[in-house]
Amino acid sequence: MIQPTPAEQSRRDEVMRLVMEYIREDRRIKLPEFDRDLDRPSDQFALLSIGLEPNQFSGSIGDYRYQFEGEEDLLHLIVTRFDQAPLQAEEAQSVASFVLNGVPTALIWLRPGEFSHHFYFGHDDLVGNLVI
């Protein structure tokens, strides 16, 4: 079980308040623009380098980082490790549980990978359940 520091908890709450604001205003959450001068591209996969620099829809807990993206009808949460090493689905699920506190796991779809795990859920599932 991961235990957030006060700073990690505060950042999570800040990110989630902004996500909720975007949902209420029907605004789309976009991934940060890729900038080769700022980002360290992954030698293996593009999604490992998304959100390396702090941005308004990303945060971290311990060795893990998370990044949000909004789609037409779903929200997408990406979980990776800072060191870009492989991670187990259970590790990513612990991060998602921290970030999505209150959202029933039955409403979250997981697309596991070796180096990044992707969680999808409806906007309304977040609005009706998220604990901040």
Report the chain (132 residues): mean pLDDT per 10 consecutive residues. Answer: 93 97 93 65 55 82 94 90 92 97 95 94 91 95
DSSP secondary structure code for residue 125 in this structure: H
Q: What is the pLDDT of residue 72?
A: 78
Contact at 8 Å (CB) between 66 and 58? yes
What are the residue boundaries of the structural domains of the chain, listed by start? Answer: 6-129
pTM confidence score: 0.88
Class of 6-129 per CATH? alpha beta
Q: What is the pLDDT of residue 68?
A: 95
Within 10 Å of residue 13's Cβ, how many Cβ atoms? 14
3-state secondary structure 31-56: CCCCCCCCCCCCCCCHHHCCCCCCCC
Q: What is the pLDDT of residue 33?
A: 74
Q: What is the pLDDT of residue 50?
A: 59
Q: Tens digit of pLDDT for each residue in 74-104?
A: 999 999 998 889 999 999 999 999 999 999 9
Contact at 8 Å (CB) between 58 and 68? yes
Q: What is the pLDDT of residue 91?
A: 96
